[in-house]
Amino acid sequence: MEIYIDGKFYPKDEAKISVFDHGLLYGDGVFEGIRIYHQKVFRLKDHLDRLYRSAKYINLDPGVSVEEMEGIVLESCRRNGLSDGYIRLIVTRGVGTLGLDPKKCPKASIICIVDSLAIYPKEYYERGLVLLTVSTRRNIGSALDPQTKTMNYLNNILAKLEADRSGFEEALMLNAEGYVAEAAADNLFIITKKKLLTPATYLGALPGITRAAVLEIAPEFDLETHETHITLPDVYSAEECFLTGTAAEVIPVVEVDGRKIGDGKPGPLTQRLIERFHRLTREEGVSF
């Protein structure tokens, strides 16, 4: 494995960053998780667009153009030779001082890792996930906009820890007003009466790349899509439920807070959406 750091590639055991990097010290940076399917990078432009939007939100200049960043990603893929895999692209504020002041970081750092990744075991996709609604609430936009994909994921990690302590496979998070926001690391969808519903991004949901793909293909199954307010009773009474994410892809949910979703098995429309998404990953992508 070769890892890109600031213009050079290093073997995994030699890939190191400074202890004064503000990404390490303060979570001061942005990142993207991107998938490789069949030697093609899936929706790379969408990921890079989101990366640069996130960087602008925290007033971080990556120091390279979007085209140059694309070249870094594709060369990282070529050097690691994975037909299917996962890319972690990171931009930190760079090396500075022990103080908070970002002006003490003269240049951003770019890191690109290409490796294999499996978030959930294969059997979870066959039988579905069981979720717990946790007490940890999603970040509020006036503090740290949850639509921005930054390196500060403590909010999500605390939610995941809470679910783990209670023996659940994934956490469901609400926003400050009590509406459903998202899972700890994935977007949430429910299906009710031929309507596909997902929390609106202004309610605390990250604008996921896989989320967008599912919204695009849903009309092929006569599903009417809505980005809207969703309550816990809406989830409990849904006919089907599933999560989406770059690493997780599309995975069924069969139970939330002890309530079975539908008949307690992965729903038929969810399974068809999974199959269609997998076909989409074979059809799209930037070759390397």
Structural domains present in the chain: 2-115 (3.30.470.10), 122-283 (3.20.10.10)
Pairwise CA distance, residues 103 & 140, whole Å: 26
Is the distance from CB of 187 to CB of 206 less than 8 angstroms? Answer: yes
Mapping DSSP onto H, E and C, the string for 243-261 reads: EEECCCEEEEEEEECCEEC
Burial of 216 from C-beta contacts in 10 A (0-12 / 13-18 / 19+)? exposed
Token representation of residue 123: 């059997």
Mode of pairing for the β-strands spanning 109-115 and 249-256:
unpaired
Is the distance from CB of 46 to CB of 209 less than 8 angstroms? Answer: yes
Q: What is the pLDDT of residue 157?
A: 97
The segments of the chain whose pLDDT lies below 50 read none
Pairwise CA distance, residues 234 & 192, whole Å: 9
Q: What is the pLDDT of residue 203?
A: 95
Q: What is the pLDDT of residue 264?
A: 97
Q: How many CB atoms lie within 10 A of CB 103?
A: 9
- Sign of dihedral through CA atoms 91, 94, 97, 102? negative
Is the distance from CB of 197 to CB of 234 less than 8 angstroms? Answer: yes
Q: Which of 30, 116, 57 is nearest to 81 (CA)?
A: 116
- Sign of dihedral through CA atoms 247, 129, 241, 283? positive
Angle, helices 209-217 vs 44-57, to 10°: value is 130
Is the distance from CB of 245 to CB of 121 less than 8 angstroms? Answer: no
Which residues are registered as beta bridge partners of 10? 3
Q: What is the pLDDT of residue 97?
A: 95
The DSSP symbol for 134 reads -
Q: What is the pLDDT of residue 221?
A: 98
Count how many Cα atoms sit within 13 Å of the Cα of residue 19 in the half-sphere of its side chain. 0
Torsions phi, psi for 173 (to 5 deg): -110, 140
Q: What is the pLDDT of residue 40?
A: 98
